[in-house]
């Protein structure tokens, strides 16, 4: 057999604290399939996801070219491979590509000068740039210097020439994305079905919006293109037939549900769900427009939390980040209509963006809760390389105060070509600005933790109707809990203290400081053991959920106090709250750990049949039984399987559990309840 050059394409994930990016390497597989279609006879392409597999292959031979995807969560790991391999073989050609790359010319020069082990960088879509570059490499007999000396202009490729000048080829997008062969249907992703990875599906590419904090908001990515309907159907069926103990499908579209064709896609998904019972969970970013259509789509498919990301409701903040939201009226209508048929909804708010204040942040959250969104996602503002928000001008105008920290789940010591190397991914987050002090920032984060804990996952939904009956909103309750620290048990105080410590302390003034600190052996061990470097919000929530008894007691004591304030606390209310507390503990306590445990308890209210939405202070007496009823709480076989599958993907590591509670529709894991005679 004739030896042909090998080109390896890697979309790496960290693996030392569980699989950090537990998804199929979809973007890299498109690049692989496109290049293979045109150049497969001349080049032997290989695709990698795990650093361990890449290292195993390096023990056998070195390729001619190594290419890597560059995201904030894998860049340092990929760069370490490139750097080490280039030191061993200086003729190795290295290519990077992905959104984690500056947009300004001087920043690109500085990026490439500081990262000398990167020979070429692919901007915009990977398929075009990679294909054009490999063609040029073949034409120039893989002579890197020849290309750089001749300053060749290659589509979507930039690099530094011998004199450190930036050479940038013309920017081009794939005209018809259907020209990219399906990596699923070609069988190129088959072996990933045996791994605990979530499949991803792209039905459109591009985003018409221009948010300044997002790399997809650049003008070069504004045109939206779509795959043919039949291809999407074939891919869905292909995936559904092959998934192995996986519940979730991620749709990578940037505005799912916004386009009229998405209704047809939703029908395809619904029919796949009916035939194959997959996917039971769907992850997809909803569109920022066409709320009615998004609602229709969410009604067709099961398992998708339809959302309206708002980031902030404040006009000044929205202007500063070049973001336009749904109108207040449209948002309200969307939420009201969703509530009518129980469709789950989701909204995201980002803290500390340019122009943000504590009051504006609380107000944004109140807006979503008052409009009955089902789930809140609370984000910190990250300054991502390649976004307008990270530019010098924005930093100066809004006096952004930033800190550096390790991205949770993205560090470890890796074997690369015979040696071990510690690697960590570092990100820059905003912790204050001209109008938000760092103390305000901490208070906002505490409130964020309370919102995701006490509001999300329908965790205390049973209590809200009783409160609403007295004109106490969910926001009022959570704000009351936030303010009344005297009600916290010792465990709650411990969780909160740890949360504030992690929020404050694991931050550094520069990338170098953060990197140096985390890579010392004893600190690295603490991170890997889960004692440091977790996502404090997800971790804090996971701890609250795992200490459900204390969490539930805090909520119920707060409800009691609120009733007392209104002069409505009496024996009937008190008895009911006691029973409800026990019911919630039996149904929702320790749901992930104890799937085999069956719990029995006697109640004076038949919680297995009461419509809790209909509970009001004035009808409590009439709902009380004359004789108590014995209730049984248990997980059925489907739930046990579901929990097992989710733990397989997210792991029991502190970071994994935090993600599991965030990604999982917890209603699926709360115990079933039935009357025992
Ligand atoms: S945040 Fe969403 S809507 Fe805004 S530019 Fe990015 S992908 Fe588009």
Between 33 and 340, name the one with better pLDDT.
33
Contact 354 CB / ligand 1 (< 6 Å): no
Q: What is the mean pLDDT of residues 138-155?
A: 93
Mean pLDDT of the chain: 92
pLDDT digits (tens, 9 = 90+) for 418-466: 999 999 999 999 999 999 999 999 999 999 999 999 999 888 989 988 8
**Cα atoms found within 13 Å of the Cα of residue 533, Cβ hemisphere only:** 29
Q: Which residue has the CA at smallest separation from atom 4 of ligand 1? A: 211
**Best residue for ligand 1 mutational test, from 99, 202, 214 (most atoms within 8 Å of Cβ):** 214
Q: What is the mean pLDDT of residues 513-540?
A: 85
Contact 221 CB / ligand 1 (< 6 Å): no
Domain 6-168 CATH superfamily: Cobalamin-binding domain (3.40.50.280)
**Cα atoms found within 13 Å of the Cα of residue 306, Cβ hemisphere only:** 29
pLDDT digits (tens, 9 = 90+) for 170-207: 998 888 999 999 999 999 999 999 999 999 999 999 88
Q: How far, in Å, is the centroid of ligand 1 from the Cα of 347?
A: 14
pLDDT digits (tens, 9 = 90+) for 358-379: 999 999 999 999 998 989 999 9
pLDDT at res. 661: 84
Q: What region does 640 belong to: left with phi over 0, alpha with psi -120 to 50, or beta?
A: alpha
Contact 318 CB / ligand 1 (< 6 Å): no
- Asked if residue 218 has pLDDT above 80, the reply is no
Contact 211 CB / ligand 1 (< 6 Å): yes
Which residues does residue 414 pair with via DSSP β-bridges, in sequence order?
421
Between 343 and 434, name the one with better pLDDT.
434
Tell the residue number behind the tokens 């944004």, with chain if given. 364
Q: What is the mean pLDDT of residues 151-171?
A: 94
pLDDT at res. 328: 79
Kindly list the strands in the beta sheet with 672-676, ordered across the sheet, starting from the edge strand earlier in the chain: 599-603, 629-634, 672-676
Q: Which residue has the CA at smallest separation from atom 5 of ligand 1? A: 217
pLDDT digits (tens, 9 = 90+) for 24-83: 999 999 999 999 999 999 999 999 999 999 999 999 999 999 999 999 999 999 999 999
pLDDT at res. 2: 59
Identify the band that residue 273 occupies on the pLDDT scale cut at 50, 70 and 90: very high
pLDDT digits (tens, 9 = 90+) for 474-502: 999 999 999 999 999 999 999 999 999 98
Lowest model confidence (mean pLDDT) among 22-36, 113-127, 284-298, 547-561: 284-298
Residue-range domain boundaries for the chain: 6-168
Identify the band that residue 654 occupies on the pLDDT scale cut at 50, 70 and 90: confident
CA-based radius of gyration for the chain: 26
User: Which atom of ligand 1 is the closest one to the Cα of 254?
Assistant: 7
Tell the residue number behind the tokens 């082990």, with chain if given. 117
Q: What's the token pair of residue 338?
A: 């969703």
Q: How far, in Å, is the centroid of ligand 1 from the Cα of 365?
A: 20
Q: How far, in Å, is the centroid of ligand 1 from the Cα of 254?
A: 7
Contact 389 CB / ligand 1 (< 6 Å): no
Contact 217 CB / ligand 1 (< 6 Å): yes
Query: Contact at 8 Å (CB) between 502 and 393?
Result: no
Contact 671 CB / ligand 1 (< 6 Å): no
Contact 326 CB / ligand 1 (< 6 Å): no
- Asked if residue 609 has pLDDT above 80, the reply is yes
Q: How far, in Å, is the centroid of ligand 1 from the Cα of 197?
A: 25
CA distances to 238, 270, 279, 302 from 194, in Å: 14, 24, 16, 25
Averaging pLDDT over each range in 154-168, 302-316, 530-544, which range is the top one?
Answer: 154-168
Query: Contact at 8 Å (CB) between 12 and 50?
Result: yes
Between 662 and 190, name the one with better pLDDT.
190
Contact 147 CB / ligand 1 (< 6 Å): no
Query: Contact at 8 Å (CB) between 308 and 326?
Result: yes
pLDDT digits (tens, 9 = 90+) for 91-108: 999 999 999 999 889 989
- Asked if residue 326 has pLDDT above 80, the reply is no
User: Which atom of ligand 1 is the closest one to the Cα of 215?
Assistant: 6
Task: Read off the pTM.
Answer: 0.86
């Amino acid at each position: 057999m004739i030896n042909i050059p090998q080109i390896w394409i890697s979309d790496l994930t960290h693996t030392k604290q569980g699989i950090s990016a537990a998804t199929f390497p979809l973007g890299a597989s498109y690049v692989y399939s496109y290049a293979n279609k045109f150049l497969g006879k001349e080049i032997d392409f290989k695709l990698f996801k795990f650093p361990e597999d890449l290292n195993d292959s390096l023990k056998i031979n070195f390729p001619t070219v190594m290419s890597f995807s560059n995201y904030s969560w894998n860049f340092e790991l990929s760069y370490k491979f490139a750097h080490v391999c280039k030191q061993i073989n200086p003729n190795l050609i290295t290519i990077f590509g992905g959104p984690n790359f500056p947009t300004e010319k001087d920043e690109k020069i500085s990026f490439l000068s500081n990262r000398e082990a990167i020979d070429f960088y692919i901007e915009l879509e990977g398929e075009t740039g990679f294909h054009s570059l490999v063609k040029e490499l073949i034409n120039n007999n893989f002579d890197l210097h020849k290309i750089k000396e001749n300053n060749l202009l290659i589509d979507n490729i930039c690099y530094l020439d011998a004199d450190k000048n930036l050479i940038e080829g013309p920017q081009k997008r794939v005209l018809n994305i259907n020209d990219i062969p399906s990596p699923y249907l070609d069988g190129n992703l088959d072996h990933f079905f045996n791994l605990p990875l979530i499949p991803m599906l792209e039905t459109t590419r591009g985003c018409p919006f221009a948010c300044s904090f997002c790399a997809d908001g650049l003008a070069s990515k504004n045109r939206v293109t779509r795959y043919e309907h039949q291809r999407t159907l074939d891919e869905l069926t292909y995936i559904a037939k092959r998934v192995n103990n996986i519940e979730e499908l991620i749709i990578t579209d940037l505005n799912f549900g916004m386009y009229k064709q998405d209704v047809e896609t939703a029908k395809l998904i619904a029919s796949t769900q009916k035939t194959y019972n997959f996917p039971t969970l769907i992850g997809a970013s909803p569109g920022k427009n066409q709320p009615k259509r998004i609602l229709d789509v969410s009604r067709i498919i099961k398992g998708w939390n339809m959302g309206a990301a708002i980031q902030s409701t404040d006009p000044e903040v929205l202007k500063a980040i070049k973001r336009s939201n749904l109108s207040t009226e449209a948002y309200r209508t969307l939420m009201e209509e969703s509530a009518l048929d129980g469709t789950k909804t989701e909204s995201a708010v980002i803290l500390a963006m340019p122009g943000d204040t504590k009051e504006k942040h609380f107000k944004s959250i109140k807006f979503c809760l008052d409009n009955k969104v089902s789930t809140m996602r609370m984000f910190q503002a990250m300054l991502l390389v390649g976004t307008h928000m990270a530019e010098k001008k924005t930093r100066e105008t809004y006096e952004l105060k930033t800190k550096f920290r390790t991205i949770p789940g993205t560090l470890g010591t890796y074997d690369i070509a015979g040696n071990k190397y510690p690697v960590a991914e570092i990100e820059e987050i905003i912790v204050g600005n001209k109008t938000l002090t760092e103390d305000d920032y901490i208070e906002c984060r505490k409130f964020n933790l309370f919102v995701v804990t006490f509001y999300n996952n329908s965790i205390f939904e049973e209590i809200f109707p009783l409160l609403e009956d007295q004109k106490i909103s969910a926001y009022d309750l959570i704000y009351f809990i936030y303010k009344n620290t005297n009600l916290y048990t010792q465990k709650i105080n411990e969780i909160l203290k740890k949360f504030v410590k992690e929020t404050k302390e694991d931050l550094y003034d520069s990338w170098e400081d953060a990197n140096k600190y985390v890579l010392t052996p004893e600190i690295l061990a603490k991170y890997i053991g889960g004692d440091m470097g977790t996502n404090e919000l997800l971790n804090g929530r996971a701890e609250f959920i795992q200490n459900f008894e204390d969490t539930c007691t805090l909520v119920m004591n707060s409800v009691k106090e609120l009733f007392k304030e209104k002069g409505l606390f009496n024996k009937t209310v008190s008895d009911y709250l006691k029973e409800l507390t026990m019911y919630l503990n039996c149904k929702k306590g320790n749901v992930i750990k104890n799937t085999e445990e069956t719990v029995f308890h006697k109640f004076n209210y038949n919680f297995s049949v009461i419509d809790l939405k209909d509970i009001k202070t004035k009808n409590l007496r009439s709902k009380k039984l004359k004789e108590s009823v014995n209730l049984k709480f248990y997980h059925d076989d489907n739930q046990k399987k579901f929990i097992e599958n989710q733990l397989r993907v997210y792991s029991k590591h502190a970071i994994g559990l935090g993600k599991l509670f965030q990604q999982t529709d917890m209603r699926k894991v709360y115990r079933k309840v039935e009357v025992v005679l």
